[in-house]
Homo-oligomer: A and B are copies of this chain.
């Protein structure tokens, strides 16, 4: 008998991929869906419960009640404002322990993992359940980076790695040696939209996305997918370099198909040595 799995489902299509893979694998799956975050379509056919993000106590009770043994957190959640969080007592305790000063998301995610492990659950990474979600090393598209793109990738890796050490952000856009934009809390979509306006006349440009060293890989990994490819193309970029084995790819076949149609490359690269 496989251990019962609870999926804490954030936004976007990744939770559906994890749920599907776990069920195909013969697992008994329960989904904890978050109000205003989880896509209702993905829980239709699966035992599930809806909770506000801040209802930590009720979430833990629910996980115990359904007999979950393994837990996986998958899909991003919007970092909520305090007033939207609707904290229950356990949530308030957790937040009080964390303090209001959060340096990036990493401490928060670590605290949630600790909380779950303290209750006896085993916390898995999405990639423990669906191996093919992780970006491999090397080029996965028909197009490949040329010398100019490789130089931009090298600079982007250097900048992203330094930013990551400071828990600032994961993504950087570089065009012909010029760092056009750096991501902090705004997210990759807004970074790419801004860089579409900031880019120089000349062709070229890459998006580089790395895992931060302190990032809790079971709660939160950098992610790309078909939409990232489209946004990169709209920003005039030649391609995307992601942290091999440390970055999730959502809807990989659609993403590669989209990239091939648009002539963009996607390449998995090692982080900074």
Contacts and interface: CB of A to CB of B under 8 A. Distances in A.
Given A184-B179, A184-B181, A159 B155 contact: no
Copies of this protein, total: 2
A167 B179 CA distance: 8
Contacts of A181: 184-186
B179 A169 contact: yes
A181 to B, nearest CB: 5
A104 interface: yes
A79 B175 CA distance: 14
Nearest to A103: B177
Interface in A152-173: 155, 158-159, 162-163, 165-169, 173
Contact of A104 (B81, B179, B183): B179
Contacts of A83: 201
A118 interface: no
Contacts of A194: 186, 190, 194
Nearest to A165: B162
A102 interface: yes
B104 A176 contact: no
A178 to B, nearest CB: 6
Interface of A: 79, 81-83, 100-104, 151, 155, 158-159, 162-163, 165-169, 173, 176-186, 190, 194, 198, 200-202
